[in-house]
Homo-oligomer: A and B are copies of this chain.
Amino acid sequence: MAVTIKDIAKLANVSITTVSRVINNKSEGVSEETRNRILQLVKELGYQPNAIARGLVTKKTKTIGLIIPDISNPFFPDIARGVEDSAHIYGYNVFLCNTDDNLEKESEYINALKEKYVDGIIFTSSSIPKHEHITDLIKSGIPVVIMDRRIDSEDIYGVFLDNYEGGYIATKYLIDLGHKRIGCITGPLYISNAIERLEGYKRALVDNEIEVDNRLIFEGDYKINSGIIGAEKLLEHEVTAIFASNDLMAYGAYKAIRSYGYKIPDDISVVGFDDIQLSQILEPQLTTIRQPAYDMGLTAARMLIKLIEGKKMNKKIANFRPQLIIRQSTKDIV
């Protein structure tokens, strides 16, 4: 049996109320003397508050849930780290939940988190077409911050990247280098950010009087393999450059391009998206669109905690801007 407030109260010859007061640093209300006596006991006995009991009465658990598709996808660890760091600073712990973009698992986790009375949830979901479970969640009153993938619904708090702009500047950069046959390997087109990046790509072409050729667009799934397959397809159509919607698929493209005996960037230029850590280690280092994942995680958690604690916020949406990082996988056409 762990030592409780009651044990302390008995030994200090005070009521549990008084002990509770000093443990919670309640403003004054306790004499210096008794406060010290209690603090002393707390230390001696190694008293630790029982957060469960506390939570039962306060309805606050100092706990948040982080729901993401997959922590082993290299894009998410940085986000998770940002969320956790932020949470830790404010005294919160975070439940990690991996959904694999699976609707059923999303609902399972939402339920589990509700039963455990988390104070709030950070959600990265793919389920654009069907997201009643999320709007229901929000309606249920629990603070929610949506991250990375948009959900169209009024009255949502979220942190996002301008993916459209990202797609645009990636493509524009290739165009400026003289490329005209630019292939695009997209993410799964049921995910908002994949759609947006594709839109940016198309728009950049149109703005520069290059026709959008659907044969130069390949729908991938954000995984390496689809980058390989996509690039193979695109090479058949004689592209001189490839914009991959994430770095992982760009790596796949590297493989395919090499297996065809082409050189990067001399024969084919490649631009990625995300700027995950390994992109600067690859040879040639990948030119890509940076997404400030850690900061986004940090911000999401900070927003959520403000929401939870009823602090006011200037805005409900934090928009981050993508940044073109020019490295060695792109080259102008001579």
Contacts and interface: CB of A to CB of B under 8 A. Distances in A.
Contacts of A70: 81
A96 interface: yes
A48 B115 contact: yes
A72 B72 CA distance: 10
A118 to B, nearest CB: 9
Contact of A93 (B49, B88, B95): B95
Interface in A163-205: none
Contact of A63 (B48, B114, B116, B282): B116
A313 to B, nearest CB: 25
Interface string A92-132: 01111110000000000001111111000000000000000
Nearest to A1: B59
A281 interface: yes
A61 interface: yes
B51 A80 contact: no
A173 to B, nearest CB: 23
A84 B97 contact: yes
A251 interface: yes
Interface string A64-80: 00100011101011101
Nearest to A264: B283
A52 B116 contact: yes
B81 A98 contact: yes
A177 B45 CA distance: 61
Contact of A115 (B49, B258, B278): B49
19 contacts: A48-B114, A50-B115, A51-B115, A56-B56, A61-B116, A63-B95, A63-B116, A66-B96, A71-B71, A72-B77, A72-B78, A72-B81, A74-B277, A81-B98, A93-B113, A93-B116, A95-B95, A251-B278, A254-B281
Given A48-B114, A49-B115, A258-B283, 18 more contacts: A50-B56, A51-B115, A51-B117, A52-B56, A52-B117, A71-B71, A72-B81, A74-B277, A74-B278, A77-B77, A81-B98, A84-B97, A85-B98, A93-B95, A93-B97, A94-B96, A251-B278, A283-B283
Interface of A: 48-53, 55-56, 61, 63, 66, 70-72, 74, 76-78, 80-81, 84-85, 88, 93-98, 111-117, 224, 251, 254-255, 258, 277-278, 281-283, 294
